[in-house]
Structure 1
Amino acid sequence: MRILIAEDDSRLLTQLDALLQQHGYSVDLADNGEHALFLIQEYTYDLAIIDIGLPKLDGFDVIRKARKADIKSPILILTARDRWQEKVEGLDAGADDYLTKPFHNEELLARVKALIRRASGQANPTVEFGPITLDTVAEEITVNGTPLVLTAYEYKVMEYLMLNPQKVISKTELTEHIYDQDFDLDSNVIEVFVGRLRKKLDPKGSLKPIETLRGRGYRINRHL
């Protein structure tokens, strides 16, 4: 999952970057509103975390302009301001949720996961397709109740597929959502991850959990 963080406090920006990467997210950073607006219009994010008090262009304006440009990524506001009027203004601008500084890392992570699930139409923290279950809280995938041993990137690929079951996901889209923006998009590494996942999810070859649509990409098999 790919997240944009827009925060002008360099120390907090570094902390958030490290926290989210530690939990398997691909992260892009902006320390002012103009850069944040450019990134959110240029790239597709699973979530944007935006501070209200950004220089050059404040967080409210970033959100308004992003929504006006039909950017649909969920947005979580970070704010040191605890006046209810400013929280309302942020939500009215198009944000989906807000978090007041200082905050606990666990709460931030819980809100991030909830917003990403909600955006994909999944209110429940667990997603099931046949015998395959994704637990977004434990960050674990099980088959018939047995946890799989997956690498971080294998988990990211499967999570993205399971949270977007209606879409055919291209190799490029998968790469953009699990790696930083400077990764080589022509790499065949996604094919390798999908091949490994198929072997781990379906060692007998009976489930066919991941479909390949030739020339288009991959899709979770919704008829498991």
Structure 2
Amino acid sequence: MKILVIDDERKLARFIKQGLEQQGHVADLVHSGTEGLERLAGGLYDLALLDLMLPGQTGFEVLKNIREFGLTVPVIIVSALSEPEKVVQGLDLGAVDYLRKPFDFNELLARIRVLQRQAQTGNSVVLQVADLEMRLVSHDVLKAGKRLELTNREFALLELLMRRAGLLVTKNEIAEKVWSADYDMGSNVIEVHIYQLRKKLDAIGTTGLIETLVGRGYRLQRA
């Protein structure tokens, strides 16, 4: 899963990010409610972990805006506010779960697994381009039954290209939606990941799927 952690406790946020990535997830961090809402509006996250006491917008305000904007991303509140009325308010505003700080990280992982199982039971989202199939919840990419082994970043990169199949995706968009906001545009890390992704696609017989538009970006062919 691609998970957005919205928490202004930077040390805790980094701990959560590291733990999630060790479990195979892709995790991004933001430290204000306003920035968190902007990221979620891009539609590229499977889950948000949301603190309530945030600068910019409070967690409650973020939840209200998520629903007003018609966003469907599930949200787990992770907060030190433990009063029953706060829990009820958060759940009534659309959060799917509420975890009180301090918490055991294994409990957080268990709650995430519950969401994954629920999504799988309800026919989880599948992206399909040509003969390539991406299963977002189980984190699988398949071609004719062959499984493509991808790193977390490669998976997120391919997901973005598949969602925008047939359309130009600029390097700036990739940096913003697959890497963190402080990505160095002078780096060649995107080119390296595109190269590695092409190699892996070629190895399973899906050649020429990613097109380079010189000076503009990349495009995933529809067929």
Percent identity over paired residues: 25
Cα distance change, pair 191–13 in 1 and its aligned pair in 2 (3 A): closer
Match of 1:107 in 2: 111
Contact 2:8-2:30 at 8 Å conserved across structures: no
Alignment CA distance shift 1:149-1:74 (3 Å): closer
Q: Indicate yes or no: 2:136 matched with 1:133.
A: no
Aligned length: 206
In the TM superposition, 1:162-177 aligns within 5 A as 162-165=162-165, 167-177=167-177
Structure 1 residue 172, shift from structure 2 partner: 1.6
Q: Which residue of 2 aligns with 1:36?
A: 33
Residue 197 in structure 1 maps to residue 203 in structure 2:
no
How far the C-alpha of 1:157 sits from its partner, in A, is: 1.3
Residue 19 of structure 2 is matched in structure 1 by 19
SS in 2 for 1:128: strand
Answer yes or no: is 1:98 the counterpart of 2:96. Answer: yes
Residue 142 of structure 1 corresponds to 142
Unaligned runs of 5+ in 2: 101-106
Q: Deviations over 1:46-95 (max 9, x none)?
A: 3443233x156532124446777x6958361416566685245413xxxx
Paired residue for 1:76? 75
Query: TM-score of the superposition, structure 2-length normalised?
Result: 0.67
Report if aligned partners of 1:82, 1:100 keep a CA contact under 8 Å in 2. Answer: no
Report the CA distance between 1:207 and its aligned residue.
4.3
Per the normalisation by structure 1, the TM-score is 0.66
Name the CA distance, whole Å, in 2 between partners of 1:212 and 1:144.
25
Distance (whole Å) between structure 2 residues aligned to residue 148 and residue 2 of structure 1: 18
Task: Quickly say closer, same or farther: Cα 1:131–1:221, change in 2 above 3 A.
Answer: same
Q: What amino acid sits opposite 2:29 in the alignment? A: D
Shift of 1:150: 3.2
Name the CA shift for 1:218/1:112 in 2 (closer, same or farther; >3 Å): farther
Contact kept? 1:26, 1:179, Cα under 8 Å: no
The whole-number CA distance in structure 1 between the counterparts of 2:207 and 2:88 is 52
- Between the aligned partners of 2:126 and 2:72, the Cα distance in structure 1 is 21
Instruction: Assess, with a 3 A threshold, how the Cα gap between structure 1 residues 153 and 128 changes in structure 2: closer, same or farther.
Output: same
